[in-house]
Amino acid sequence: MIDIHSHILPSIDDGAQTLADAIAMAKAAVAEGITTIIATPHHRNGTFDNDKQSVIQHVYALNEALRTHRIPLSILPGQEVRIHGELIEHYRDGDILPLTETKYVLVELPNNHVPRYTDQLIFDMQLQGLVPIIAHPERNSELIENPNKLYDLVKKGALTQLTAASIAGKFGKNIKKFSIQIIEANLAHLIASDAHNITTRAFHLREAYDVIQKQFGSQAVYVFQENAELLVAGETLYKDAPGRIKTKKFFGIF
């Protein structure tokens, strides 16, 4: 499996705090069947700044440590970029790092709202040849209250990444329900761990895929896993999963 969102790089954000923590996370990932992780430290979220070149250097160092410990896991570079008005300018300046240096950029919304400029920023990113992936939309309070806003963002070109722990119920029944409804409406494109450690914010990818298998069948699992592989290859992701409904609005079902 490929995990496209993880805070495994040590000592640079609220994820792994030490190299020992990162090694423990790597071992847990391998035990779960994960072969590749995109390291996505927080960037420009008001607390942490991890520019492109520093992330690449930290990824190199962690891969060296994993080889020393003979852990069969590959770490690739990325960022979880907090959405901000100067994002395009910072991308042009070489500050923003798309996932594995492809066209895909993992963007994070504030927890409690969707900024008014989000639609315009999604449009501007696409003009630059970038594809925004909205991280964990199921945990954004405005999207929970108005899920058709998520539909609008997807229709305008954004992709979404749900958190495995949300699907597995680790954030509560309501977040799990919303996550399942996002998948049901075909508004989810990727599943990732957003792992920060091996205790309170672990991987849970296998558990999430088991839930998806039971709810939607093996084809849905295949599409999500294939999309992670396509992303790493820099290729186009599936948007309408075969055998499932097309992207739709929620029509006030919440």
pLDDT single digits (tens) 102-129: 999 999 999 999 999 999 999 999 999 9
Confidence of residue 247 (pLDDT cuts 50, 70, 90): low
Structural domain contains residue 242? no
Give just the sign of the alpha carbon dihedral 43, 102, 135, 123: positive
**pLDDT averaged over every residue in the chain:** 95
Q: Does some domain include residue 13?
A: yes
For residue 30, give its domain range.
Answer: 2-233
The length of the chain, given as a count of residues: 254
Note whether residue 76 is domain-resident. Answer: yes
pLDDT at 246 over 70: no
Is it the case that residue 186 has pLDDT exceeding 70? yes
Taking residues 169-195, what's their average pLDDT? Answer: 97
Residue 248 lies in a domain: no
Q: Say if 247 falls within a structural domain.
A: no
Share of the chain above pLDDT 90, in %: 94
Residue 241 confidence (pLDDT) above 70:
no
C-alpha 115/C-alpha 27 separation (Å) is 38
47-105 per-position pLDDT tens digit: 999 999 999 999 999 999 999 999 999 999 999 999 999 999 999 999 999 999 999 99
250 part of a folded domain: no
pLDDT at 253 over 70: no
- 243 in a domain, yes or no? no
Count: domains in the chain? 1
Do the Cβ atoms of 5 and 231 come closer than 8 Å? no
pLDDT reading at 205 higher than 90: yes
Residue 252 is which amino acid? G
Residues 194 and 154 sit within 8 Å (Cβ to Cβ) = no
Which pTM value belongs to this model? 0.94
CATH number at residue 121: 3.20.20.140
pLDDT of residue 103: 98
Using 50, 70 and 90 to split pLDDT, how confident is the model at 249? low
Nearest 10 degrees: CA dihedral of 49, 102, 206, 82?
A: 30
Please, which pLDDT band fits residue 245 given cuts at 50, 70 and 90? very low
Q: Does 240 fall in a domain?
A: no
